[in-house]
Structure 1
Amino acid sequence: MRDYTRAEQAVAFLLGLTDADTAERVRARIGLPDAEDPEAARRRLYRAWGWGNGLPASVVLWILEQDDPALNLLIWQYLSLDAGLRRAVARGVPFGPGRTEPVPVEQSLREQEPDIPFGYVRHGLVGALREAGSMREGRAGASMVLTRADWRTVAEADAERPLPGYARWALSVRPDCPPEVRARFGSHRKFTNRVRDAGILDGPAVYATTYGPAASVLQVLSLGTWLFPARMREAEDALRPLVHDHLGAREDAWAVLAQLAETFHGNPRELVTTAGALA
């Protein structure tokens, strides 16, 4: 059996949000195979990381929350701009809620841990953050915040005396920054826009409905069973009413969706509503 194309992955994922009868009829109408075999699904899981648009930082965090050494190795390339996440993964820091046991780490990743910042060696964690007089220094200090205990230390230090703006910003754009800590650092529109631009999302529902291009988002969600199963229900619940209201059991609407999916530049919400309207 051949592998799905990206557009077929997107359509197949949305069909999974409908009833079995509708899915069967639509598959026959658009020529979509019934299902991929497990090996095909595994191949596209590993092939998916070639997407040019990358992944939002929060999606990377949801994958890290699996604390799966194989997945950590797979997404290592997406951590290149976040020294803190790279350091945490290289040291086996667990990300999953409630987990405390270290995650096994490939030796190749341990050897790629970023250098320890001089400011941290000289001043310690809080001292390095307080000394941050540039974004570079802010990012360097933030890269040493690794564990839940470190984040509590940061919150307590900021409560005692607000950290410099550069440090606050560098900490805020870390996807693993606890929401209650990030809320301490700012709430005005400019701040929240910058956080969003960094790929920090409120949850899977936001990713599923407002990110684009739609085919890439839906392709990632089609892999969610492997990548972030604990987060999938929220994404599915956000899309299911849209699929029901705009596509439903209308085979013509699904056919239009299949034709649009590959080249559509908008988000999944816009793709679904546009297909329904055109049909």
Structure 2
Amino acid sequence: MRYSDTDRQAVGFLLGLADEDTGERIRARTGLPRRERPRASRARIDRIWNWKPLPASVVIWVLEQDDPELNALAWRFVGPDLALRRALARGVPFGPGRTKALPVRPVHQQQEPDVPESYVRHGLVGALREAASMASARAAGSMVLTRDDWETVGAAHDELPLPGYARWVLSVRPDCPPALRGRFGSHPKFTHRLRQAGVLDGPARYATTHAPASQVLEVLSMGHVLFPARVRDAEDALRPLVRDHLGGREEAWAVLVQLIGTFHGTAPELVTTAGAIA
């Protein structure tokens, strides 16, 4: 049986969550290869940035690796996001505890968004307080880049709440500290905005709620390269489902392989459906 590369890697990721004996038997039956080696994954990563936009938090997990090559790939994906474009152009590190600027390609340095005039006139907090529209708030918010900037913004907000536009654009930033986001507001509209922006509380959420399953699982199959410190959370979220609904049943895995290429639901829905059909 022939499969697309996406389907092969997606099923391979799920097989990696089963026991070793099951993986060997299913690979022998279906002709699927062993899990891809890191070097091969890295050579294939470029393609994922040509899909429909990934959730914003997934991009941040990638940037947390502070890998200049991955950052160069991510540059094409962040599009009109002024804050991330500015951070990438300046080599701002995202990994925990890192402060040293990263190497940046000259062409990306030259494409940094213009510094907003309001920031020049009023400084960081002043520009955020002056924001009277979404456009001006996005421009001012694009200057919030480092952990020190976020601490400054948090202190200013605690002293006097920031205007709604400023809180909105900062709260939907995937790199906004969760504690500060909580102080910005808890209205249902905020939750809706976060969902629209693709802000997630972790890889487990991505693995279990996003679709289509084949694309999500392929991204996770490259997690050992894209976000190795976080991919285990996704594996832990899906492993019980794989064992309960597929286990060592070859017929269930065969059904999953047949379904995955055209299945539009989430990974848990795919696994449970395959198990039920079998």
Counterpart-to-counterpart distance in 2, 1:180 and 1:105: 30
Check the 8 A contact 1:3/1:40 in 2, yes or no.
no
- Cα 1:222/1:13, change in 2 over 3 Å: same
Structure 1: segments with no counterpart, 5+ residues: none
Check the 8 A contact 1:87/1:114 in 2, yes or no.
yes
The answer for the alignment partner of 2:262 in structure 1 is 263
The answer for the alignment partner of 2:127 in structure 1 is 128
Q: Deviations over 1:110-131 (max 9, x none)?
A: 1111111111111110011001
Counterpart-to-counterpart distance in 2, 1:209 and 1:221: 11
Counterpart-to-counterpart distance in 1, 2:33 and 2:235: 22
The answer for the alignment partner of 1:194 in structure 2 is 193
- TM-score normalised per structure 1: 0.96
Counterpart-to-counterpart distance in 1, 2:234 and 2:36: 22
2:230 is paired with a residue whose SS is helix
Check the 8 A contact 2:9/2:36 in 1, yes or no.
no
Which segment drifts farther, 60-69 or 100-109? Answer: 100-109
The answer for the alignment partner of 2:43 in structure 1 is 43
| 1:263 CA drift (Å) | 1.3
1:75 is paired with a residue whose SS is helix
| 1:41 CA drift (Å) | 2.9
Counterpart-to-counterpart distance in 2, 1:69 and 1:3: 33
The answer for the alignment partner of 1:11 in structure 2 is 11
Q: Deviations over 1:32-91 (max 9, x none)?
A: 12354665433322222221x221000000000000000000111111131111111111
| 1:4 CA drift (Å) | 6.3
2:208 is paired with a residue whose SS is helix
The answer for the alignment partner of 1:33 in structure 2 is 33
Q: Deviations over 1:141-180 (max 9, x none)?
A: 1000000000001001111111000000000111110001
Q: Deviations over 1:170-196 (max 9, x none)?
A: 001111100011101111222112111
Counterpart-to-counterpart distance in 1, 2:78 and 2:177: 18
Counterpart-to-counterpart distance in 1, 2:65 and 2:217: 20
Counterpart-to-counterpart distance in 2, 1:36 and 1:149: 39
1:55 is paired with a residue whose SS is coil
Counterpart-to-counterpart distance in 2, 1:160 and 1:142: 18
Counterpart-to-counterpart distance in 1, 2:114 and 2:260: 43
2:274 is paired with a residue whose SS is helix
Aligned residue pairs: how many?
277
| 1:273 CA drift (Å) | 0.8
Counterpart-to-counterpart distance in 1, 2:41 and 2:131: 46
Counterpart-to-counterpart distance in 2, 1:42 and 1:232: 15
| 1:106 CA drift (Å) | 1.1
Counterpart-to-counterpart distance in 1, 2:252 and 2:4: 20
The answer for the alignment partner of 1:107 in structure 2 is 106
Which segment drifts farther, 28-37 or 200-209? Answer: 28-37
Check the 8 A contact 2:8/2:33 in 1, yes or no.
no
Q: Percent identity?
A: 67
- TM-score normalised per structure 2: 0.96
| 1:101 CA drift (Å) | 1.2
- Cα 1:59/1:38, change in 2 over 3 Å: closer
1:23 is paired with a residue whose SS is helix
The answer for the alignment partner of 1:21 in structure 2 is 21
Counterpart-to-counterpart distance in 1, 2:205 and 2:48: 21
- Cα 1:266/1:153, change in 2 over 3 Å: same
Counterpart-to-counterpart distance in 1, 2:60 and 2:42: 21
Root-mean-square deviation (CA, aligned residues, Å) is 1.5
Counterpart-to-counterpart distance in 1, 2:265 and 2:22: 25
Amino acid at match of 2:240: P
- Cα 1:32/1:236, change in 2 over 3 Å: same
The answer for the alignment partner of 1:83 in structure 2 is 82
| 1:25 CA drift (Å) | 0.5
- Cα 1:37/1:148, change in 2 over 3 Å: closer
Counterpart-to-counterpart distance in 1, 2:189 and 2:47: 36
